[in-house]
Amino acid sequence: MKHKSRERPSAGLRKVRFGELLKQRRTEKGLTLESLAKKVGVGKSYMSLLERGKTMPPSPKITVALARELGLGESRLLVLGWAEKAPPKVRDRIWRAVAHLVAS
């Protein structure tokens, strides 16, 4: 007897990390760390920490500014930023609940 796979809705998604996405989009747009940081009102060193995942995600205000500068969905970036910092059980629930936001 075959058992149905109980795959979670988010199981097949590549969970792009917040910092990876920032760096990818920044370089695609030909921006330096310094120029992006200046556009969104933060320091170059802080941008570097964000891209490397070495600090907590920025405030919603900064996140929205980053999303606009990088051509990303605001909700997607907010979710990515905070979901990866949540405890594992919470993070799994977040990913399941917002899989449609992070799939693209």
**Tens digits of residue pLDDT in 47-60:** 999 999 999 999 99
Residues 6+ apart with CB under 8 A from 94: 79, 82, 83, 86
Three-state SS at 19: helix
**How many other CB atoms are there within 10 angstroms of residue 16's CB atom?**
13
Question: Could you tell me which CATH number the domain at 18-102 has?
Answer: 1.10.260.40
Judged on CB neighbours under 10 Å (0-12, 13-18, 19+), 45 is exposed
Question: Which among 44, 27, 37, 43 has a CA at the least distance from the CA of 66?
Answer: 37
Query: What are the residue ranges spanned by the domains of the chain?
Result: 18-102
**Tens digits of residue pLDDT in 15-51:** 678 999 999 999 999 999 999 999 999 999 999 999 9
pTM for the whole structure:
0.75
